[in-house]
Chains A and B, each alone.
Chain A
Amino acid sequence: MRISKGALLVVIAVLVPFVVEFRTALSWFGIELSILESLVLGGMAVLAVVLWAVWPPNGNAEAELSGSS
């Protein structure tokens, strides 16, 4: 894990407003996403974050830090 489980949950929670607002922002450019499309997009973003978090870091020291709280 690159970051602690707690931190991962926080990152996912903070993603939610971005996904929600993204839909509004896109409509400014004439791109209207349906709810389903937004959900899929949000799901992909969450998946990407989770993958990034659990991917073994390339042995750099940062990994040790994150666990401590």
Chain B
Amino acid sequence: MEVTRMSSTAGQTYLDQFPAEAKVIKAAFWSSFMALAIGGLLGLVQALHRTDVLRFIDSADYYTVLTAHGVLLAITFTIFFLVGIFTWAVTTSLDRGVVDIRFTWAWYIMMVVGTILVGVSILGGVVDAIPTNADVLFTFYAPLQAHPAFYVGLVLFVVGSWLAGADWFRTWWAWRKENPDERIPLPTFMALTTTLFWYLCTLGVALSILVFLLPWSLGIVDSVNPLLTRTLFWYFGHAVVYFWLMPAYMMWYIMLPKLSGGKLFSDPLARVVFVLFLLLSTPVGIHHQYLDPGIAEGYKFIAMTNTMFLLLPSLLTAFTVVASMEHGARQRGGTGYLGWLKALPWRDPVFTGMALAGLMFAAAGFSGMINAGMNINYLVHNTWWVVGHFHLTVGTAVALTFMAAAYWFIPQVTGKELWSRRLALGQVLVWFVGMTFMSNAMHRSGLFGMPRRTAEPQYQGFDFEPAVGTVGEINAQVALGAVLLTVALAMFLLNMVMTSFNDDSDSLPANTYAGTLSGPEDSPAVLDNLKLWTAIAVVLVIVGYTLPLASIVDSGGLFGPDIGGFQLAIETDPALVLESVREVMP
């Protein structure tokens, strides 16, 4: 059954339908692209520096660069894109605008202000004129301490995203009054369930910042419990990975089938998947702390079990999305056991980008299972393996899906035709190849113990022993991959900039998304009971976290055993630290 689209709006772009909302979405996308541009360039700096191919920063500044890379890409780029896509999804699928566009601008501006505060306080690490320091990496573990502006900026950004969620809920409530008996349209359902677990998980990081880290960096309290703030960070830190991923999943569910020429295989299955993410995203964060002393093995085991259950919705997604693509390909005349693959629209950069992103996500699923296993995690923990893993997940499954989506969305929200589809196709392929090189080499270096987060992993009197090839080859492969990725990034940005200079076009496709083979009427109504699922999610969080948190507080105290702050650049000159480390190394 097909979800009926409003016939009155057929043939119109998003800009025609919702001109006011389109402006906010465009602004959010451009904020996201700017973060991607700066963050990506810093990635190249890091890759070349670590591998000693080319060093044009001081090693002492490495953490400033790495903090900016992590925050700008993992937080700013992803979440700005998300709020744009979700605003599109809610308004398009409810076929009504937001309740009050001023409110929409307000949360967007709040997020921008937060970003600027965070960005400037990080920049203070390398620009002498700015008296701040925030070399704390995107995980801001105590006792590393940042300038208060960094924490305040993060809070503003997150609160902005909360208000964005409130905006989507308000829009949905308004729609429900007008359509009391209808099921929640799938894209809105996806946005709302994602928002719910975002509220749940960000409570942890808000607590960590507002009660502990911010007062501590302001000097109001003089100690924190590092294990407690770390645990609160990861309480949020795993769910945030699903927060990035959900808009990509949404694209795979509602755009890929359409682009393949068919319909979504099953609306009920998609709802089940999003409900599972609402339930399971948060009570698993301890799987990032398998190596943390101070958390009993039993709690880690529970986190591991929950994590393995989380594989289920991703496997369901793989099935549904591939089934929908096959359906589409067969609609286009594809035949054969695998021959239908040839009938897919591979020349379309939007399709190909998303499909390749999905393929890389499958590979990431395998390395993720290694990370998730408690015992085998000890082998790869804090090595470059992990960095290789998440450049496949957030760095490709998410980032490449977003870039591919932008090739469709930017024309929709600007009314201008994409500048070059060929360049776009080349871009997604270069990204895919570049990431293959970089991520493969990172995974392999992790296996022989190459640490992450270090400027100079060239140690004296010690040699890494790769299973295959040499360290030099692996470094060269990382550098090659990083250069290709940067080229792909430049191709993307060029296309976006040139597109915005294009003339207005009136031959753009209409603003639609995929219909479904099996529609919402086939799914039990209980799936739409958001209150019920939220309640269960809260219970699971309580079960998963009460005891570990209680025992952390019990053994370390709420404010820890006199842990003062440590600021990398202000209190110690890192160059001196490096020197002294060099002296003690044989």
Asked if B334 is an interface residue, CB under 8 A from chain A, the answer is: yes
Chain A 2-34 interface residues, beta-carbon cutoff 8 Å to B: 3-7, 9-10, 13-14, 16-17, 20-21, 23-24, 27, 32
Distance in angstroms from A28 CB to nearest chain B CB is 9
B344 to A: closest C-beta gap in Å = 8
Is B348 at the interface (CB under 8 A from chain A)? Answer: yes
Is B347 part of the binding interface, using a Cβ–Cβ cutoff of 8 Å? yes
**Interface status of A68 (Cβ within 8 A of chain B):** yes
Tell me, rounded to whole Å, the shortest Cβ–Cβ distance linking A66 to chain B.
Answer: 5
Interface residues of B in 411-434 (CB under 8 A from A): 425-426, 429, 432-433
Interface residues of A in 54-69 (CB under 8 A from B): 62, 65-66, 68-69
Segment from B54-62, B248-256, B436-444, B519-527 that makes contact with A: B436-444
Contact between chains at B433 and A4 (CB < 8 Å): no
Contact B359 A10 (CB under 8 A): no
* CB of A46, distance to nearest CB on chain B (Å): 12
Contact assessment for B468 and A24 in the assembled complex, using a CB-CB cutoff below 8 Å: yes
Q: Does B487 contact A (CB under 8 A)?
A: no
* In the complex, chain B residues whose CB is within 8 Å of the CB of A35: 469, 473
CA distance A42 to B156 in the complex (A): 50
**A64 (CB) vs chain B CBs: closest residue:** B333
Residues of A within 8 A of B (CB): 3-7, 9-10, 13-14, 16-17, 20-21, 23-24, 27, 32, 35, 62, 65-66, 68-69
Question: Are A65 and B342 in contact, with the CB atoms below 8 A?
Answer: yes
Bound-state CA distance A67–B312 (Å) is 37
Write out the residue numbers on chain A whose beta carbons fall within 8 Å of the beta carbon of B352.
Answer: 6, 10
Q: Judge whether B467 is part of the interface by a CB distance below 8 angstroms.
A: yes
Q: Determine whether B116 belongs to the interface, using a CB cutoff of 8 Å to chain A.
A: no
Q: For B437, give the chain A residue with the smallest CB separation.
A: A20
- B440 and A7 contacting across the interface, CB-CB below 8 Å: no
Given contacts A20-B436, A23-B468, 13 further A-B contacts (CB under 8 A): A6-B347, A7-B346, A7-B347, A9-B425, A10-B352, A16-B432, A16-B433, A16-B437, A24-B440, A24-B444, A62-B342, A65-B333, A65-B342
Query: B interface, how many residues as a size bin?
Result: 20 to 34
Q: Name the CB-closest residue of B to A67.
A: B347
Contact B440 A6 (CB under 8 A): no
Per CB-CB distance, the 10 closest pairs between chain A and chain B, nearest first, are A6-B347, A7-B346, A69-B347, A27-B468, A13-B429, A69-B345, A17-B436, A10-B346, A6-B346, A16-B433
Pairwise interchain contact B343-A65, C-beta atoms closer than 8 A: yes
Q: What 1/0 mask marks residues of chain B from 440 to 469 whose CB sits below 8 Å from any chain A CB?
A: 100010000000000000000000000111
Complex contacts, B467 vs chain A, CB 8 Å: 24, 27
How many pairs of residues, A versus B, come closer than 8 Å at their CB atoms? 63
Q: Are B346 and A13 in contact (CB under 8 A)?
A: no
B436 touches A16 (CB 8 A): yes
Majority SS of interface residues in chain A? helix
Q: Cα distance A14–B428 when bound, in Å?
A: 12
Kindly name the residue among A21, A62, A69 whose own CB sees the greatest number of chain B CB atoms within 10 A: A69
Query: Could you tell me the distance in whole angstroms from the C-beta of B552 to the nearest C-beta in chain A?
Result: 40
Q: Are A62 and B436 in contact (CB under 8 A)?
A: no
Contacts of A32 in B (CB 8 A): 468
CA–CA, A5 and B346, complex, Å: 9
Q: Which B residue's beta carbon lies closest to that of A9?
A: B429
**Chain B nearest CB, measured from A10 CB (Å):** 5
Tell me, in angstroms, the Cα distance from A24 to B437 when the chains sit together: 13
A45 to chain B, nearest CB (A): 14
CA–CA, A47 and B332, complex, Å = 29
Measured between beta carbons, the chain A residues less than 8 angstroms from B508 are none
- Can you list 17 contacts pairing A with B, beta carbon distance less than 8 Å? A3-B342, A3-B346, A6-B347, A6-B425, A7-B342, A9-B425, A10-B356, A13-B432, A13-B433, A14-B432, A17-B436, A20-B437, A24-B468, A65-B333, A65-B343, A66-B342, A68-B332
* B339 pairs with A62, CB closer than 8 A: yes
Which residues of A sit under 8 angstroms from B334, Cβ to Cβ?
Answer: 65
Contact A69 B346 (CB under 8 A): yes
Closest to B421 in A: A6
Output the nearest chain A residue to B334 by Cβ-Cβ distance.
A65
Contact B346 A4 (CB under 8 A): yes
- For the complex, give the distance between the alpha carbons of A37 and B441 in Å: 18
| Chain B residues in 8 Å Cβ range of A6 | 346-348, 352, 425
Contact in complex: B440, A21 (CB < 8 Å): yes
